[in-house]
Chain A
Amino acid sequence: MTYVYFPGCSLTSTGRGYHESLQEVCRALEVPIQELEDWNCCGATSYMAVDESKAFALSARNLALAERLGNGSTQMMVPCAACYLGLNKAQHYLQEFPAIRGKVDKALAAAGLAYSGRVQIRHPLDIFIKDIGRDKIAARVAKPLAGLKVACYYGCQLVRPYAEFDDQHNPTTMETIMTVLGAEVIDWPLKTRCCGGSLTGTIEDVGLRLSYIILTEAQKRGADLVATACPLCQFNLECYQGKMNGRFGLNGKVPVAYFTQLMGLAFGLSNKSLGLNRLFVPLPERRAVAAGGGAHVRG
């Protein structure tokens, strides 16, 4: 079965490393993906704040295009947490509120589109663990991430309020994958705390505080790096570290990578193909060398 891939705006710009590594990992795991043709923006959090019904219309167009592509049994792969939430929210509201459904159906018809409601919106974490399975991931590991301590960070919108693939309060999918890759995961309480979202761009001081709290806690608990599954979380946590050093005394730098980049590393794929050259803070050199592995994390 081919998954319809919805990258979203961030993965074409600040989140390009996610886009690249996700595609590489799918290729390595033989997960067929096809990019949704002419997809539009999901609306993110800003659209809801201006016009709710148009926000639903935006998502409805994407869902209608995906449904047309998948012949009624579409599985949509959505890596960005904000897109994942936006599409899921539209899906839920279309189901729950007939008035919204009626309005959106009429608007879709005016644009020559239709949506019956059968697309399944899924995050790659969900697909990797449920459809592919840990055994297949384990079989692909060529250079285990032994000795690397990872803080798995999910952020907010990936698990709240709609994720069904994992626990809202204590999700563990990323930890399972990291363990399969040979890494060590740290136990910490902030894995679903908000990174500040778009506040870093608007009310910067507050946004930076939120990101700083997450990074400093991961550091205190001995993490070598933070693994993320959302382009906005990755951007906030990584790209503003210089400012956090000055303002709050963040101690040094904390690498922040996409979980797909770490999967690719363990699979032995090249740094460049995984977009690791795009990171502001390079990943740590491997300290302990795994038996039989012998390669550096930076490969």
Chain B
Amino acid sequence: MEKWQGWDKIQYEAGLDPHFGTKIASIPGGDKLLACIQCGTCSGVCPLSPYMDYTPRQIVAMIRAGFKAEVLSSYTTWLCASCYSCTVECPKEIKITDVMYAVKRMAIQEGVYPKRFPTPVLASEFFHSVEKTGRSTESWLLVRMYLKTNPFKMLKQAMLGFNLWRRGRMGVGVESIKRKDELHRLFTAMENETRAERRAGQEVRP
């Protein structure tokens, strides 16, 4: 093959994942994704789109076309603040916010996000703390996120933490519910259900 500058930037059909679109569209109510008319309303109303590498409209097109690697490693979904502007304005009633969530879940599952990038780290830390105690303790959550991403930044945030604490707006203990066993039984049953669905071949959703 001839090699010129940027030859490897050209995308061929073989590099795409033909099942990516249908997989994302399998989330509850996700089938409408395939009906996108590329009007760009979502990108127009999205307050984060100026800072994204791909706009929401582009992400929807790329999902449908099977650009899995590019979508999962883009920053767009991590910049999405779940404000639901796109979802309520989309003329085809595509639940774009939920599509962004599905992409986030798949990226976390497959471990493809930029190393030490704070958003997925915060999401995972939040998940584990709530799974253990039933509540989230904002202070400890942030401490763990900074330790795993950028410990230096924690020092810079210490003043904010102190100011919050001084006004009684940040506790130092860990919040927890009383009947943790009840929650654990609930989660375990949920996990078993998901496993059973997977075995039965129903659950392929992200």
A127: interface (CB < 8 Å): no
Of B15-23, B36-44, B58-66, B137-145, the one with at least 4 CB within 8 A of chain A: B137-145
Inside 8 A of A9's CB, which chain B residues have their CB?
135-138, 175
Inside 8 A of B124's CB, which chain A residues have their CB?
50
**Least Cβ–Cβ distance between A200 and chain B, in angstroms:** 10
Interface string of B154-181 (1 = CB under 8 A from A): 0000001001100111110001011100
Q: Are A156 and B84 in contact (CB under 8 A)?
A: yes
Q: Are B83 and A197 in contact (CB under 8 A)?
A: yes
Give B109-154 interface residues, CB cut-off 8 Å to A.
118-120, 122-124, 126-127, 130-131, 134-139, 142, 145
Q: Are A111 and B185 in contact (CB under 8 A)?
A: yes
Inside 8 A of B134's CB, which chain A residues have their CB?
40-41
Known contacts A107-B186, A112-B182, A277-B167: does B122 contact A198 (CB below 8 Å)?
A: yes
Q: Are A38 and B135 in contact (CB under 8 A)?
A: no
Q: Are A47 and B186 in contact (CB under 8 A)?
A: no
Q: How long is the Cα–Cα vector from A280 to B168 in the complex, in angstroms?
A: 12
Residue pairs across A and B with CB atoms within 8 Å: the count is 184
Inside 8 A of B101's CB, which chain A residues have their CB?
48-49, 52
Known contacts A111-B182, A111-B183: does B88 contact A160 (CB below 8 Å)?
A: yes
B108: interface (CB < 8 Å): yes
Inside 8 A of A116's CB, which chain B residues have their CB?
none
Q: Are A194 and B169 in contact (CB under 8 A)?
A: no
Inside 8 A of B182's CB, which chain A residues have their CB?
61, 111-113
**Least Cβ–Cβ distance between A118 and chain B, in angstroms:** 20
Give A36-52 interface residues, CB cut-off 8 Å to B.
38-41, 43-52
**Least Cβ–Cβ distance between A100 and chain B, in angstroms:** 6
**Least Cβ–Cβ distance between B109 and chain A, in angstroms:** 9
B92: interface (CB < 8 Å): no
A139: interface (CB < 8 Å): no
B73: interface (CB < 8 Å): no
Give A284-299 interface residues, CB cut-off 8 Å to B.
none
Checking A38, A110, A160, A199 against B84 with a beta-carbon cut-off of 8 angstroms, the contacting residue is A160
Checking A43, A96, A108, A202 against B29 with a beta-carbon cut-off of 8 angstroms, the contacting residue is A96
Inside 8 A of B189's CB, which chain A residues have their CB?
106-107, 109-111
Interface string of A87-128 (1 = CB under 8 A from B): 000000100110110011011111111000000000000000
A21: interface (CB < 8 Å): no
Give B179-196 interface residues, CB cut-off 8 Å to A.
179, 182-183, 185-190, 193-194
Q: Are B85 and A201 in contact (CB under 8 A)?
A: no
Inside 8 A of B130's CB, which chain A residues have their CB?
40-41, 43, 47, 58
B54: interface (CB < 8 Å): no
A251: interface (CB < 8 Å): no
Inside 8 A of A113's CB, which chain B residues have their CB?
182, 186
Q: How long is the Cα–Cα vector from A61 to B169 in the complex, in angstroms?
A: 27
A2: interface (CB < 8 Å): no
Q: Are A197 and B81 in contact (CB under 8 A)?
A: yes
Q: How long is the Cα–Cα vector from A113 to B202 in the complex, in angstroms?
A: 26
A14: interface (CB < 8 Å): yes
A170: interface (CB < 8 Å): no
**Least Cβ–Cβ distance between A93 and chain B, in angstroms:** 6
Inside 8 A of A161's CB, which chain B residues have their CB?
84, 87-88, 97
Query: Can you name 19 extra interface pairs (CB under 8 A) apart from A53-B190, A103-B190?
Result: A10-B138, A14-B164, A17-B169, A38-B178, A39-B177, A44-B136, A47-B130, A50-B124, A53-B194, A54-B187, A93-B28, A108-B186, A111-B183, A161-B84, A198-B119, A199-B79, A199-B119, A210-B48, A240-B160
Q: List 20 interface pairs A-B (beta carbons < 8 Å), by A numbering.
A: A13-B138, A16-B168, A16-B169, A41-B135, A49-B120, A50-B124, A52-B27, A52-B101, A58-B130, A103-B197, A106-B189, A112-B182, A113-B182, A161-B87, A193-B47, A197-B82, A197-B83, A201-B145, A206-B48, A210-B47
A-side residues, CB < 8 A to B, are 9-10, 12-17, 38-41, 43-54, 57-58, 60-61, 93, 96-97, 99-100, 103-104, 106-113, 156-157, 160-161, 168, 193-194, 196-199, 201-203, 206, 209-210, 239-240, 277-280
